[in-house]
Amino acid sequence: MRKKRNKHMSDKKKIIVGLSALAFMYLAATIFFANHFFFRSQINGIDVSLKTTKQAEEKIISVISKYSLEIEGQDGIKGKINGKEIGLAINEGNKIKEFKSKQDSFKWISSIFNKNHEQIEGLITFDKELLKEKLNKENFFSSKEVNEPKDVSFEYSDNGYKMIPEVNGNKIKKEAVYESVQNAILNQNNLLNLEQANCYEKPKYTSKSKEAKEAMELLNKYTNLKVTYNFGSNEEILDGSTINKWLYVDENMKVGFNEKKVRTYVDSLAVKYNTFGETRKFAASTGKIVQVDGGNYGWVISKAEEVKSLIEVIKKGKDAKKEPIYSQKAVSHDKNDIGSTYVEINLTRQHMWFYKNGALVTEGDIVTGNTSANFGTPAGTYVLNYKERNATLKGEGYSSPVDFWMPFNGNIGIHDATWRTEFGKDIYVKSGSHGCINSPYYLANAIYDNITPGTPIVCYTE
């Protein structure tokens, strides 16, 4: 029994001795770390583990005295900055001691597992002007060929649009280089890659950008369609081969329309299909084919409105059939655009006919404008503006009430003239109207009852 007790006492003593030894080691280390940096301690990237503040300062001075920074640029361009060239030194002061004072020596065990890194601002100093001077002489800034970065762009072909990849270029960002180099020196880094440090100007949009992909989709949407214009029996086909010339992508990858170019296209339609005021070959009732110049009749495309309309049609991205928006319409798109319902006025013979759907409704002699007084009725193809019963025609020196009033060229129109007893012949030469078509009552009445606004009025001389 005594032997067992002695053995138990012996084991207890060993534990006590072991614990005492551990306590002694802990206290000894605590005392040591009261004046030394913990394990895994760094100041501005320089290892100062297990060193006193003085030893740490000496270590930092030793490191920076040999310090150099290699700089890598594009196309294999390299540069080097030596600490001595820029007056690299340690800043005097108590910054290292301040860092040490934050260390609780009783917690030294935790430093075995945790990093104890400190970036002390202002610990290392250098001459910034000398640094700039040195950098400005490097090849990064003195490259003779500077290639500007270019955003992704788009090119049209028969198969639609494709992306032209962006160009990174080699244009350096000086301020970014200055800042990156300074930070590298302060952190005591030995290598700086300018590409990785984002010191080159980059394209805003690349082929992988969401905005570029959306622009591409929209460009193809606008050009993968066909717009068919109808001009009676004639058609004009508009497709991507023309539309692509109107499109552009701005600096924010927004697709837009060059309205001036769209207007040029609409202008070409107007040149081809507008008939307003043009010279017409007219089959007169006398059997002759006469040339009729001028007037205000004919097709007129409203160019500004049609540009807007066409752009909106294209934006829908679907095939479409359309007519232009007209500010004035004629009866037909045929070569004879006046159709078969019209008033015919022969200024030479002083005679007027009215045809409706190709059938003669009425005809008779008339009196037109007084040519001796320069009031001659202008030739041309016109359109009836409106018609009115019981109107009073007023002008300089006259006021004439009429039963039937049908204006077609400003203040010139067809009306009854009950104050006249005869019509036709050469009355108009010296005793004509102020430009209007003076008609017998029956003739004005018959035309009024059968005509509608918009009907062509053809005035001509033989």
CA atoms within a 13 Å half-sphere pointing along the CA-CB vector of 59: 19
Helices (H), 137-277: 139-142, 174-186, 210-223, 240-243, 259-273
Q: How far apart are CA 133 and CA 143, in angstroms?
A: 16
Quote the tokens at residue 389: 């019963």
Q: How far apart are CA 458 and CA 298, in angstroms?
A: 12
The span from the first CA to the last CA of the chain, in angstroms, equals 158
- Paired strand residues for 363: 353
Q: Which of 199, 415, 434, 459 is catalytic?
A: 415
- Paired strand residues for 234: 231
40: burial class by Cβ within 10 Å (0-12, 13-18, 19+)? middle
434 is a catalytic site residue: no
Report which secondary-structure segment, H or E, holds 132.
helix 128-136
Cβ-based neighbour number of residue 89 at 10 Å: 15
Q: Which amino acid is at 77?
A: I
Report which of 371, 379, 370, 369 is spatially closest to residue 344, judged by C-alpha positions. 379
Cβ-based neighbour number of residue 203 at 10 Å: 19
415 is a catalytic site residue: yes
In Å, how far are 158, 246, 314 from 426, measured between CA atoms?
67, 59, 59
Q: Are 332 and 232 in contact (CB under 8 A)?
A: yes
Q: Strand 191-193 vs strand 68-72: parallel, antiparallel, or unpaired?
A: parallel
In Å, how far are 89, 299, 342, 458 from 294, measured between CA atoms?
93, 13, 16, 10
Report which of 151, 149, 345, 105 is spatially closest to residue 253, judged by C-alpha positions. 151
Q: Which of 36, 199, 434, 436 is catalytic?
A: 436
Report which of 360, 286, 333, 329 is spatially closest to residue 455, judged by C-alpha positions. 329
Q: By 3-state DSSP, what share of the chain in percent is helix, strand and coil, each rounded to 5?
A: 35, 30, 35
Catalytic center residues: 415, 436
